[in-house]
Chain A
């Protein structure tokens, strides 16, 4: 699903020391460049949705610990669309896992919606993921034998929503991504683009504050990638913050901010 973590390159000492990552493209001042109306064009609120404060992440390896992220600080505002690019092994997925609260930093702290989550228990992190964070994966992670609708309903697997309400919300989410007409099609019979849109519907069915997407167009052709990106833009327009990792720099104009991970630094 995600990039293997072995052989990661370090992020730059410079960016780590600076304590901030910079926005690209600079000429837009971090604003959206796609021409659509977006909440990020408004004045950002004082309190960021997510704050990474001096975060370092190391992994154990036979040759000793490998530091993938070092002293990284980052603020993500509500309704921001942050795109992370960079070569494989640059730390994109590691950063996404930290942002999605699927992993813990080796050092530093992560503040989500004003709450320091670095030291929370697994159960508490799971609760935040359940309610406030949606995830989209490169390889969709659908249950192939279930229908698209049931895959979206699976979003409610660990919530207390009544079945009827869950199905109704899942139906709305499928409508949002344009899959209402084939809601009952088994996932294994759907096209790659449809599967990814179903995965997006699953991620947004509970109206998360943050949507984390790891190479969501990595397995799609250009047309399907464009359709999926349209979905992300629509979701973003509803005020959901998005953090997306991608290799495809052609998608950058769709984001409000760009973070580039590359050997030797983050810009």
Chain B
């Protein structure tokens, strides 16, 4: 192996420009592949987070586009009364900018069941409860990241839309990343304040009293989800066809992400494929030039007892080494860039073993495939002819 590595090193270092070009071409291709894999990995990770955050037993009902497809507190109450063992909650979102918050916050008006539906646990104090909802208590629960950034703790008074509230708890909210309007609604942002529905009646406006932006339902068990979903549909649609409400189940969310994933895979995949193809053809042309330049050396090797397959193996190994090193460099640089700039990417990215290993594997296959023909050419040069060529 040492002999081969030395031969390859000698072969490469005396063609620095050619070697650099081959490395660059392959590295670009592998960088493109790494970005694609990171984006797809990010989407898959997001799918998993979405399911985990929302809960596999939870579904949401959103207002429909039609005028008679609004959602109200009464409909939430209807579901709560009829879906035995299921837990139902409603929520409506406002934007507020309280003093001392250093910017706008998301205010979610809900009831005492939201934490139970979402599976959240208070890290300090308590969550809203039924009495708060019934009394219209001026109490608030804040998300843990908000508490961390502004330093608010249970017992502190805050002013929301000129109404004083007392913080009674801090809750850790999972799935806080913003992913578009629907998910922003379902998955609270990091800077969120929860208050009872009943304390925000006057904020809703005259034309939409009791209106809510989502109803969340948690089935008692995963196996009960289809039955609970069907019952809820019957109760809300009340025979209307088609069903006027968008129903957001974990499956629907994941399907949406899968569609996005497919689009990214198709478009970015095509670009990555073309980059790889470009890298491969560049590599092949460089390998052919390499073979032509080294015909006397091939002749010498044959005179010294190299078999045709030894010659072929030399060029294939050299090519695989070039692509492997290029892939390693391309992948490392891309990982570093993505890690540094990841938060500015429009879609989530996930860097892991696969984003590092797959480009390496592809590079080695690429090196083998695209050097096969040049290596075959080299192996088939007759030794006498090779020695004559100097």
Contact = CB atoms under 8 A, between A and B. Distances in A.
A155 interface: yes
Contact of A103 (B2, B306, B383): B383
A158 B304 contact: yes
Best-surrounded residue of A100, A146, A157 (most CB of chain B within 10 A): A157
A234 interface: no
Contacts of B18: none
B302 A145 contact: no
A154 interface: yes
Interface string B11-38: 0011000000000000000000000000
Interface stretch (B58-66, B228-236, B284-292, B293-301): B293-301
A135 interface: yes
A122 B308 contact: yes
Contacts of B297: 143
Given A102-B384, A157-B3, A1 B299 contact: yes
B384 A129 contact: no
A246 interface: no
Interface string B296-336: 11011111111111100000000000000000000000000
Nearest to B388: A2
Nearest to B306: A158
A154 B304 contact: yes
A102 B307 contact: no
A158 B14 contact: no
Contacts of B307: 122-123, 126-127, 158
Nearest to A154: B304
Contact of A1 (B14, B296, B309, B310): B296
B390 interface: yes
A157 B383 contact: no
Best-surrounded residue of A1, A93, A100, A131 (most CB of chain B within 10 A): A1
Contact of A102 (B2, B3, B303, B309): B303
Interface in A161-207: 163
A97 B296 contact: no
B10 interface: yes
B313 to A, nearest CB: 11
Contact of B304 (A4, A5, A130): A130
B78 interface: no
Contacts of A163: 2
B10 A102 contact: no
A2 B383 CA distance: 12
Nearest to A135: B303
A4 B388 CA distance: 6
Interface string A1-17: 11111000000000000
Interface string A129-148: 11100010101010101100
A122 B297 CA distance: 18
A5 B384 CA distance: 10
Given A141-B300, A146-B10, A154-B304, A102 B383 contact: yes
Nearest to A98: B384
Contacts of A145: 10, 13-14
- Give the secondary structure class of B's interface: helix
B304 A103 contact: no
Nearest to A129: B305
A143 B388 CA distance: 17
A236 to B, nearest CB: 20
B306 A157 contact: yes
Contacts of B308: 122-123, 126
A28 interface: no
Given A1-B299, A143-B10, A158-B310, A126 B305 contact: yes
A141 B305 contact: no
Nearest to A121: B307
Given A103-B383, A145-B10, A126 B390 contact: no
Interface in B91-120: none
Contact of A137 (B309, B382, B387): B387
B228 to A, nearest CB: 73
A141 B305 CA distance: 15
Contacts of B303: 100, 102, 129, 135, 141
A109 to B, nearest CB: 18
A141 B386 CA distance: 12
Interface string A210-236: 000000000000000000000000000
A18 interface: no
Nearest to A5: B388
Best-surrounded residue of B2, B7, B307, B390 (most CB of chain A within 10 A): B307
Contacts of A1: 296, 299, 387-390
Given A1-B299, A97-B384, A158-B310, 16 more contacts: A93-B388, A97-B387, A103-B382, A123-B308, A130-B304, A135-B304, A141-B296, A141-B303, A141-B390, A143-B10, A146-B10, A157-B7, A158-B301, A158-B304, A158-B305, A158-B306
23 contacts: A1-B296, A1-B387, A2-B387, A2-B388, A4-B388, A93-B388, A97-B383, A97-B387, A122-B308, A126-B306, A129-B302, A129-B304, A130-B304, A131-B305, A139-B390, A141-B390, A145-B10, A145-B14, A154-B304, A155-B304, A157-B304, A157-B306, A158-B307
Interface of B: 2-3, 7, 10, 13-14, 296-297, 299-310, 382-384, 387-390
Interface of A: 1-5, 93, 97, 100, 102-103, 122-123, 126-127, 129-131, 135, 137, 139, 141, 143, 145-146, 154-155, 157-159, 163
Interface pairs A-B: 6 shortest CB-CB: A130-B305, A1-B390, A97-B384, A103-B384, A102-B383, A102-B384
